[in-house]
Copies of this chain bind each other. A is one copy, B any other.
């Protein structure tokens, strides 16, 4: 099973709409929490039996039900029944290889998002699938594991700050979406810092580890692109959706999160250009250094090889080599060799090799 492309093999033989968890089990126990609020009211509770969710469906207060952990497929089917979700939605919630998308089922909107986080220890990007169901008065969010990405939203609702409690379920869905998108910026900053640090090293010494690191960066950026381009369609789809679930005051906020998504895309595309530029720079840099090495070799070899030949000539043991007997032969030869060497150095200097 490979990291690059993974899919539940058994799926192939299954009926469409079958709810079977496709990921690794990332938490021990599924945790369900419900937050129910109105401008003047706030209730937060842990839910142990799924049927406890039912009353929230038709209540007039806004309810946010958060499910952490997707391996308990029976529970998810039960939720699907209570909130009348389409079997394909349930299948997609547990099948964590989805790409971001938005589907409008009229009585509710289904959103798939990808949460990307940089795992500092392993030095890789981890991807988590987040599903949102936006109904008339409720939002249900599904996470693969407990996470702190939604904590700021939870806090704002608790404290009743800003618009948090005054607006409806669509604003809550927006807030969760915004939290996910904001998270991308943290990742971008990390990648940006990595690019900058690699670029500096590139100038100093183009080692093969560096090449490896550039390639790794490229892969991460490809992964990021794959998540963020469809995200743009999701957000713009939501903004333009003519659904009665989205109220007009929420639209400017969706436009705002759309702008953020486009900013992320801009950065990803710039990174792509920069990384590709770094690879070119690397190649040019190696070529350049090889050229330097070659020059040194050539200078030494072309100066000394002919001289060595001349020395070899006078090391021959022929009986009749008149020069050998002359008194000034040695100093004259040495002077001659020095002149030859000097001419060669001059010629290299003219070519700019020295």
Contact = CB atoms under 8 A, between A and B. Distances in A.
A301 B312 contact: no
A33 to B, nearest CB: 19
Contacts of A256: 16, 88, 91-92
Interface stretch (A40-48, A124-132, A156-164): A156-164
Interface stretch (A70-78, A138-146, A238-246, A270-278): A270-278
B4 A98 contact: no
A251 to B, nearest CB: 11
A319 B321 CA distance: 11
B252 A86 contact: yes
A259 B99 contact: yes
Interface string A157-197: 00001111000000000110011001101101101110110
Contacts of A293: 291, 294-295, 298, 353
A15 B284 contact: no
Nearest to A280: B279
A92 B296 CA distance: 57
The CB with the most chain B CB atoms within 10 A, among A188, A263, A298, A326, is that of A298
A15 B324 contact: no
B291 A297 contact: no
B99 A266 contact: yes
Interface stretch (A23-31, A49-57, A58-66, A303-311): A303-311
A215 B226 CA distance: 24
Given A92-B256, A103-B255, 15 more contacts: A2-B193, A12-B185, A15-B161, A17-B163, A86-B252, A91-B256, A97-B263, A99-B263, A279-B284, A283-B287, A297-B302, A304-B305, A305-B308, A320-B328, A320-B329
